[in-house]
């Protein structure tokens, strides 16, 4: 079993839709949770960062962490064609530095 599981997709939605991206994990020591966006032929770009459980909102993006269920989500409201990219979840344990990445979900937002 992988430490971090993420559905690779692809996920195709119409413009304006609400997108839900999810990851599950098995290591209860993870405390820092990140979402990265990676456009084709580019390096990953940090999108959202959350510590422990709870929600964090930034514009059209909301990150949720449910540590009891070992489940994290990224919601994108009013999705745009420019949101088309691969989204990677990532997490780091307390006191550690080794970040573990999910496989990434490819998202296509159709105009």
Partner 1 sequence: SAVISQKPSRDICQRGTSLTIQCQVDSQVTMMFWYRQQPGQSLTLIATANQGSEATYESGFVIDKFPISRPNLTFSTLTVSNMSPEDSSIYLCSVAAQGNTEAFFGQGTRLTVV
Q: Which residues bind partner 1 (CB under 8 A)?
A: 6, 8, 32, 34, 36, 41-46, 49, 51, 88, 90, 92, 96-99, 101-104
Q: Is the CA virtual torsion 48, 54, 57, 63 positive or negative?
A: positive
Question: Which of 79, 105 has the CB closer to partner 1?
Answer: 105
Please report how close the Cβ of residue 12 comes to partner 1 at its closest, in angstroms. 17
Question: Which of 2, 77 has the CB closer to partner 1?
Answer: 2
Within 10 Å of residue 7's Cβ, how many Cβ atoms?
A: 15
Please report how close the Cβ of residue 44 comes to partner 1 at its closest, in angstroms. 5
Question: Which of 72, 104 has the CB closer to partner 1?
Answer: 104
Question: Which of 36, 76 has the CB closer to partner 1?
Answer: 36
Contacts of 3 (CB under 8 A, 6+ apart): 25, 26, 27, 100
> What CA–CA distance (Å, rounded) separates 107 from 48?
17
Phi, psi at 54, each rounded to 5°: 125, -175
């Amino acid at each position: 079993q992988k430490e971090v599981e993420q559905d690779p997709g692809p996920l195709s939605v119409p413009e304006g839709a609400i997108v839900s991206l999810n990851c599950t994990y098995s290591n209860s020591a993870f405390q820092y949770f990140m979402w990265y966006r990676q456009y084709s032929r580019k390096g990953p770009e940090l999108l959202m960062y959350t510590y422990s459980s709870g929600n964090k909102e930034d514009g059209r993006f909301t990150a949720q962490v449910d540590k009891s269920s070992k489940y994290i989500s990224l919601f994108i409201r009013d999705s745009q064609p420019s949101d088309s990219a691969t989204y990677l979840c990532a997490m780091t344990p307390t006191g550690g530095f080794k970040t573990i990445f999910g496989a990434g979900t490819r998202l296509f937002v159709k105009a």
